[in-house]
Structure 1
Amino acid sequence: MKRKLPFVPILIFALVFLLINGYALSALAPLISVTLLPWLWIFPIALIAGFSFSLARLSVDGQTNLFKISAHALLVYFVSLLVFVLTEVLTDAYRLLIGVINYFSESNFVYPERPLIGVYLGISLVLVIVIAFVYGIFRGKYAYRVIKHTLYFDDLPDAFDGFKLAQISDVHAGSLTNPKAVQKGIDLINRQRADLFVFTGDLVNNKAEEVKPYINHFSQIKAPFGQFSVLGNHDYGDYVKWESDAAKRENLQQLKNYHAEIGFKLLLDEHVRLEKNGHKITLAGIENWGLGFGERGDLEKALRGTTKDEFKILLSHDPSHWEAQVKNHASKIHLTLAGHTHGMQFGIEAFGLKWSPVQFRYKHWAGVKKENNRFLNVNRGFGFIGFSGRVGIWPEITLIELRKTKANN
């Protein structure tokens, strides 16, 4: 079954895209020959046509190679185009300002010619963007890194002082294509020698069968206090068309079976207690709860049988759940572990900067946040989906050490 082509949105995008392209070509005019100019129109038109054609032939069950290639090419070109145009908009704003100053000082409005330094700067930035995308597509999506956090708690049970937990999220096994690279990520997880391992949802893109080739990889993950997991929004099969409701339910059950085969204990609105030297902490997990992505999870059910102040860690796929229900809950949840955002697989985290377009959707989208004396950690994801790459936001293995706050700290 083919998808219905969204004609109007594509037409609007194409018009805006070509308008921006025309503005960029006007800036490049002094540097390009007349014979080359038509080709600089043909290329973006061909990109849009190829993407539209591949989208029209796209089935509801998956992406074709043609769609992936055309979508990625269009994305790289469009982002590069926006970066170049931004430099030229700033240049034209400067030219306009000079013209206005001349008008008020000499009563003569003179719009200066565009300085070529702005064009050269734009071209240089485009080259950087293209190189970054090429790296992100071929290498960056498997460039696993460990991010370590040490979190302090006044009421952490003494036996758990120094307890370490490793977290990954958003494997999206259906997108993975390089088992050797994935194995390097698995080895990196095990080298952390964490006491506890947790996975915070989205093992697959749509169907349980996607994880079958990687069961032997993820089953290698071991921790002394166990391996625990929850489901994410993609795990329920909501984004593909099923022949029947029964087939969809069977798929979900099969995915749960695969969690067990891997060695992950699924927490479905429930909790377990971890014991060390006579002291205990509670680990709870809920089904996916996310604004706009299905509010299935039942926090009250997951906490049933726990006390208000016992030390609790919660696995909840979507960080919007923490904002909506967890951070001010009457029962103190000391640490919540989430994923879901992927950091949009695109952004900047360097030189003190932390930016991604996903911040316009999520208040907190990566790393640790503390509010109301409770912590949230959002993992940037182990895998990828949609865009088959990562630029600036690399795949993450989180290692969190729990520490007891000392009286003299």
Structure 2
Amino acid sequence: MSKKVTRRSFLKRMTFGTLGLIGLSYGGYYYAHEIEPKWLKIINSPISSNRIPEPFNGFKILQFTDTHIGFHYSLKDFEKLIQYINKQSADLVVFTGDLTDDPSNITSLEYDKIIELLSLIDAPYGKYWIFGNHDHGGYGTSMIQTVMKQGGFSLLQNSSVKIPKDNAEFTLSGTDDVLLGSPNLSNLIQDGEEDLFNVLLCHEPDYAEEAMKYPFDVQLSGHSHGGQIQLPFIGYIVTPQLGTEYVEGSYTLGQNPLQLFVSRGIGTTRLPFRFFCRPEINVYTLKANTSSS
């Protein structure tokens, strides 16, 4: 027999229920604002291809992206990130855009500190970067370009470079930002180099629909922040333009095929929260598929 609910017990339940919701709301806010955005994880992913030369077997490429310094991401946070990066002992380091959230809001002293920290990144086979949409436009374009250069990073803006190792090489290419720049893929892979292992850096992941028409083996992107907030049964909450189709993780596209890897990145934008979407840096280990025959 069910117990009769009195007015007093009803009010008591309502009071505890309301207090519980307030507590959960505050706890969720604190977690999403203060804890998860700082809870960095390392994602290790193998990349296999029969076009990877044998000398590059075990070669490590580290990608970090979307730091958005100045929006809920401080220089102290950035300093810790550099320490995490160097602990991975990567051969090659790439940055795929959006260094600051708003370049005009960063002081000259802060830029000096960013340059100092970028200079500390150790990568024996080089450090490369591409523009993100938050890096581009007026003052920001030239300032971010200067900062990255002084920090030891080489810009790939609709350009390519060969990464050599033991008489072998692969091609690393980068596009201009798709949203605010002028991307051009047509001249990145030269005639006769279609059979090389070709890696593309592109800030916006959805541009892979265009990149898969070319002989790229891998595309590394950021921009989407992994949706930044993920809710059960609802999915991704914050997905920017050209970051809606491929939001996080890995995808295989086209007949070539193109392996697309989308990083959740480091910082936040628009909303200073992460929920069920921890920030990450990504380490890709190349695996040469050599024939045993």
1:317 aligned onto 2:200: no
Select which of 371, 378, 389 maps to 2:273: 389
Match of 1:261 in 2: 150
Give a deviation string over 1:335-391, Cα, whole Å, max 9, x none.
100000012311159xxx994235796121111112232211111111111212322
- Flag the 1:391–1:31 CA change in 2: closer, same or farther, 3 A: farther
- The separation in 2 between residues aligned to 1:176 and 1:124, in whole angstroms, is 28
Aligned to 1:139, the other structure's residue is in SS state helix
Match of 1:333 in 2: 216
Quick one: which amino acid aligns to residue 235 of structure 1? D
- The separation in 1 between residues aligned to 2:194 and 2:157, in whole angstroms, is 20
Structure number with higher relative contact order (C-alpha < 8 Å, ≥ 6 residues apart): 2
Aligned to 1:146, the other structure's residue is in SS state strand
Match of 1:195 in 2: 91
Deviation at 1:128, TM superposition (A): 4.2
Match of 1:97 in 2: none
Quick one: which amino acid aligns to residue 256 of structure 1? Q
- The separation in 2 between residues aligned to 1:327 and 1:155, in whole angstroms, is 16
- The separation in 2 between residues aligned to 1:146 and 1:356, in whole angstroms, is 21
Deviation at 1:270, TM superposition (A): 0.3
Please tell me whether the aligned partners of residues 231 and 237 of structure 2 are also in contact (alpha carbons under 8 angstroms): no
- The separation in 2 between residues aligned to 1:195 and 1:132, in whole angstroms, is 39
Give a deviation string over 1:4-50, Cα, whole Å, max 9, x none.
xxxxxxxxxxxxxxxxxxxxxxxxxx9669xxxxxxxxxxxxxxxxx
Give a deviation string over 1:223-267, Cα, whole Å, max 9, x none.
110110000111113xxxxxxxxxx2x542222111101111111
- The separation in 2 between residues aligned to 1:163 and 1:258, in whole angstroms, is 27
Residues 48-67 of structure 1 aligned to structure 2 (within 5 Å): none
1:171 aligned onto 2:67: yes
Match of 1:137 in 2: 33
Match of 1:370 in 2: 252
- The separation in 2 between residues aligned to 1:152 and 1:231, in whole angstroms, is 27
- The separation in 2 between residues aligned to 1:179 and 1:131, in whole angstroms, is 26
Please tell me whether the aligned partners of residues 216 and 262 of structure 1 are also in contact (alpha carbons under 8 angstroms): yes
- The separation in 1 between residues aligned to 2:62 and 2:84, in whole angstroms, is 11
Quick one: which amino acid aligns to residue 269 of structure 1? N
- The separation in 2 between residues aligned to 1:235 and 1:190, in whole angstroms, is 24
Aligned to 2:70, the other structure's residue is in SS state helix
TM-score normalised by L of structure 1: 0.61
- The separation in 1 between residues aligned to 2:148 and 2:19, in whole angstroms, is 48
Quick one: which amino acid aligns to residue 222 of structure 1? D
Match of 2:230 in 1: 347
Please tell me whether the aligned partners of residues 136 and 180 of structure 2 are also in contact (alpha carbons under 8 angstroms): no
Aligned to 2:204, the other structure's residue is in SS state coil
Aligned to 1:384, the other structure's residue is in SS state coil
- Flag the 1:129–1:166 CA change in 2: closer, same or farther, 3 A: farther
Match of 2:194 in 1: 308
Greater strand content: 2
Deviation at 1:130, TM superposition (A): 3.8
The structure having more radius of gyration, on CA atoms, is: 1
Percent of residue pairs bearing the same amino acid type: 27
Deviation at 1:126, TM superposition (A): 6.9
Quick one: which amino acid aligns to residue 146 of structure 2? N
Please tell me whether the aligned partners of residues 147 and 399 of structure 1 are also in contact (alpha carbons under 8 angstroms): yes
TM-score normalised by L of structure 2: 0.84
Aligned to 1:188, the other structure's residue is in SS state helix
- Flag the 1:258–1:295 CA change in 2: closer, same or farther, 3 A: closer
Please tell me whether the aligned partners of residues 228 and 265 of structure 1 are also in contact (alpha carbons under 8 angstroms): yes
Question: Unaligned stretches of 5+ in structure 1?
Answer: 1-29, 34-115, 238-247
1:356 aligned onto 2:236: yes
Aligned to 2:226, the other structure's residue is in SS state helix
**Runs of 4+ deviating beyond 4 Å:** 30-33, 122-129, 358-361
1:404 aligned onto 2:288: yes
Select which of 80, 95, 100 maps to 1:204: 100
Compute the RMSD of aligned alpha carbons: 3.0
Deviation at 1:295, TM superposition (A): 5.6
Quick one: which amino acid aligns to residue 366 of structure 1? E
Residues 236-251 of structure 1 aligned to structure 2 (within 5 Å): 236-237=136-137, 248=138, 250-251=139-140
Aligned to 1:399, the other structure's residue is in SS state strand
Number of matched pairs: 276
Question: Unaligned stretches of 5+ in structure 2?
Answer: 1-8
